[in-house]
Amino acid sequence: MRILIIEDEPGIVGFLKEGLEEEYFAVDVADNGREGLAMALSSDYDLLLVDWLLPGLSGIEICRRFRMEDTEVPVIFLTAKDTVDDVIFGLEAGANDYIKKPFAFEELLARIRVQLRAPLSESAPLSAGGVEMDLSAHRIACNGSELFLTPKEFALLEYLLRNKGCVCTRSRIIEHVWDIHFDADTSVIDVYVNFLRKKLDKGGCTDLIETVRGVGYVIREK
């Protein structure tokens, strides 16, 4: 999953980027409003984290202009403003959620997962074909037995599971899992899919990832 952070405080940016990458998100950063809006409109993101007060263009204006072009990608405001009027103003501009600085990373992560409709408990894991993924615990089970994946394997499987039933093109996978743009060599995806298949096959979850020749990959519920 790919997140854009639009924030001009280097300390907050470093804190967020490190934490989110440890949670297997691909992360881009813009340190001013105009650059951030341009990136948001020109690239394919799953969620935006936007500071309210930014040089060049405010977070409110970013959200308003972004919503003129896109109505689905979630936006979470990061701000020190906390009055009821401020909250209402931000939400009416098109934000999905709002978190006051300073904040605990765990709370922000929970809010991000809510917006991405990610399961937060074992009662509703991402699942398909005998595989169950618990994002909050970073655990994967294959037919009830724990499966051990590298961070990139985990992120790739998560992306395919989130998009179960939809064909994921190589260009979308490389952008959302590796944070590399579409003109990059996508052959690395085929290598990691092969790694994943071998581990899944060993656990008895065979034929989970289907190849769509010339396009990409898909997981379908059997």
**Full strand arrangement of the beta sheet holding 168-169:** 168-169, 216-219, 209-212
The rounded Cα 133 to chain-centroid distance in angstroms is 15
What is the C-alpha to C-alpha distance for residues 171 and 186, in angstroms, rounded to an integer?
Answer: 7
| Together in a domain, 168 and 104 | no
Is residue 58, in this structure, part of any structural domain at all? yes
What 3-state DSSP class applies to 212?
strand
Task: Tell me the three state secondary structure of residue 200.
Answer: helix
pLDDT at position 219 over 60: yes
Please give the average per-residue pLDDT across 164-176, as a whole number.
86
Judge whether 121 lies within some domain: no
**Non-local CB neighbours of 104 within 8 Å, separated by 6+ positions:** none
Quick check: is 110 in a domain?
yes
- For residues 25 and 99, state if they share a domain: yes
Domain that includes residue 147, residue range:
126-219
Whether this prediction's pTM lies above 0.75 is answered by: no
**Domain-embedded: residue 88:** yes
- Whether 80 and 152 map to the same domain: the answer is no
The verdict on 67 and 146 lying in the same domain is no
Structure tokens at 118: 């990610």
Q: Does residue 120 fall inside a structural domain?
A: no
Q: What value does the mean pLDDT take over residues 51-56?
A: 90
For residues 36 and 107, membership in a common domain is answered with yes
pLDDT (tens digit per residue) in 67-105: 888 668 999 999 877 677 777 777 888 888 888 888 889
How many domains is the chain partitioned into structurally?
A: 2
Do 190 and 102 reside in the same domain of the chain? Answer: no
Residues 6 and 111 occupy one common structural domain? yes
- Which region among 134-138, 202-206, 212-216 has the lowest average model confidence (pLDDT)? 134-138
Decide if 151 is inside a domain: yes
Q: Are residues 169 and 209 in the same domain?
A: yes
130 and 106, same domain (yes or no): no
Q: How far apart are alpha carbons 31 and 114 in whole angstroms?
A: 25
Same domain, 11 and 75: yes
CATH number at residue 185: 1.10.10.10
Same domain, 64 and 138: no
Is there a domain that residue 84 lies in?
A: yes
CATH number, residue 11: 3.40.50.2300
What is the Cα–Cα distance from 43 to 160, expressed in whole angstroms?
A: 19
Indicate if 105 and 139 belong to the same structural domain.
no
User: What pLDDT score was predicted for residue 22?
Assistant: 83
The string of DSSP codes covering 1-68 is -EEEEE---HHHHHHHHHHHHHTT-EEEEESSHHHHHHHHHHS--SEEEEESS-SSS-HHHHHHHHHH
Is there a contact between 176 and 45 (Cβ–Cβ < 8 Å)?
no
Mean pLDDT of the chain: 86
CA neighbor of 161 nearest in space, from 190, 200, 202:
200
Q: Which domain-ending residue is among 95, 115, 135?
A: 115
Last residue of a domain, one of 63, 94, 115: 115
Helix (H, G, I), strand (E, B) or coil at 140: strand
